[in-house]
Structure 1
């Protein structure tokens, strides 16, 4: 528990620092996190006996995250033109498979693309949260993380204290309905406090985001658990002592970030 707490504290400081140090550091840090998650995802797939196209996957990951990130930072016509390069990098996944000897080439291709969808695209949406109003504003991604952590912590504490009814025992035996409800309630309470300091949205909208994060984030956690159980592994990696892998720490973000960004887009442009 001590190792887990120390690791979590320092990782928390680094993540918040990357937001406060400006758009360039924010882009670079979350690009690294994206690649680490993709690395763990591909590693788990390889353990299951599928040969993904790692090199093509990483090239596409960098291209997708950086190009959309630059468009968020400064919407220049040249970046829109560079998007057409993705047709070549994405096609390379198929071409690379031509030179391999594999009985299941399209399985390899499919899981290579699944890695991009499962890890890269959600972080692209998370990065875009900082530009939801057109200019860099760390309030949205920081508030997202605070509500996500509040939900996780609240679910753990209330589940441990009051948990009786299993939420989805087949995929996550420790999760309970009491913990789930407690996590969402605590995240909603934190969202109200956030609304007092971040006036970009009113309290109802911040609370709505907290509920989205609680519900969709928990679903993402369950889906990642289902994925790991399907290939008989406990943790996605060992990079974070006491926490497992990076993918384990961001499973909630991977599913919640695109939904929250969509919600913000319609709210801010209504």
Structure 2
């Protein structure tokens, strides 16, 4: 129970900071996502360092390039999504040369596994940068309304759903969990815990529909299911990466939660699926509700 208490306190404090930053102003929201992106990208590449055949000096240089390319890519994507449907914006094509730089680097570093090194470098952009640029899209669908609660309502709702699913899956699994889902990857995650997280997420989605009218009740319930299901996949995938790297946590940023990537693995992974649903909703119904 000490671990549960520590996780609960840390999770609550984190939720307060997260929700406060999102609700306060557009700039604090963008700054928050920017910092989360940079921190998660750094932790991901730190986990992958044992997989790449770089010397110490080469690794320092490549880490700087990784973060710079990642930040520039995030900014280009986030700027494009901010202006909503400018999907054909030429800025997007600037990302491709940035990613291909990693292939050029391998020509000069002459490491034992150049293809694997380049693949890992590019994976970080797709795994972390792309999803965290998509989240910037949501507040700019209805720019004529006030920031709080209308424009940032969907992001706040998603944050509540992720926190609810994570907390209640852990609590339910700790109390009654018996049947393991993928014990070879994450031995503590159970079907009972997953079911508890899903049920409480659906309940949370129903409650959110009364406070944030950007979506109706049915769509909030669908998004709650998407967050719970794909957020759980995100947990498993990050656990797979950590297990492969031979570490327990991605970092030590949060007591009881590990690093930033430990805390945002579900958040990052479910964003593209919510994004696809939300875009489809607008394209096929002509409304975000």
On whether the aligned pair clears a TM of 0.5, the verdict is yes
Q: Which residue is equivalent to 1:14?
A: 17
| 1:136-162 C-alpha deviation (Å, 9 max, x unpaired) | 611111100101111111111111222
Q: Which residue is equivalent to 2:273?
A: 259
Work out which of the residue numbers 172, 196, 199 in structure 1 matches 2:186.
Answer: 172
Work out which of the residue numbers 192, 198, 205 in structure 1 matches 2:219.
Answer: 205
Does the 8 Å CA contact 2:172/2:196 hold for their aligned counterparts?
yes
Distance 1:163 1:206 in 2: 27
TM-score (norm: length of structure 1): 0.91
Distance 2:203 2:14 in 1: 24
Aligned-residue offset at 1:5: 4.3
Instruction: Mark the runs of 5 or more structure 2 residues left unpaired by the alignment.
Output: none
Q: Which residue is equivalent to 1:268?
A: 282
Describe how 1:75-114 pairs up with structure 2 within 5 A. Answer: 80-114=89-123
Q: Which residue is equivalent to 2:46?
A: 43
Does the 8 Å CA contact 2:78/2:134 hold for their aligned counterparts?
no
Does the 8 Å CA contact 1:50/1:107 hold for their aligned counterparts?
no
Does the 8 Å CA contact 2:53/2:111 hold for their aligned counterparts?
no
Q: Compare 98-107 and 141-150 and name the one that shifted more.
A: 98-107
SS of match in other structure, 2:47: helix
Aligned-residue offset at 1:18: 2.0
Name segments (4+ residues, structure 1) moved above 6 Å.
none
Instruction: Tell me how large the CA RMSD over aligned residues is.
Output: 2.2
Does the 8 Å CA contact 1:23/1:73 hold for their aligned counterparts?
no
Distance 2:179 2:7 in 1: 27
SS of match in other structure, 2:189: strand
Aligned-residue offset at 1:103: 1.4
Q: Compare 149-158 and 135-144 and name the one that shifted more.
A: 135-144
Work out which of the residue numbers 125, 130, 143 in structure 1 matches 2:157.
Answer: 143
Q: Which residue is equivalent to 1:34?
A: 37
Distance 2:85 2:230 in 1: 33
Distance 1:167 1:133 in 2: 40
Cα pair distance change 1:204/1:99, threshold 3 Å: same
Aligned-residue offset at 1:133: 4.4
> Does 1:54 find its partner at 2:63?
yes
Does the 8 Å CA contact 1:54/1:112 hold for their aligned counterparts?
no
SS of match in other structure, 2:181: strand
Distance 1:268 1:49 in 2: 43
Does the 8 Å CA contact 2:251/2:258 hold for their aligned counterparts?
yes
| 1:198-217 C-alpha deviation (Å, 9 max, x unpaired) | 12222111011101111111
TM-score (norm: length of structure 2): 0.85
Aligned-residue offset at 1:190: 0.6
Cα pair distance change 1:252/1:132, threshold 3 Å: farther
Aligned-residue offset at 1:22: 2.2
Instruction: Mark the runs of 5 or more structure 1 residues left unpaired by the alignment.
Output: none
Distance 2:7 2:190 in 1: 22
SS of match in other structure, 1:173: coil
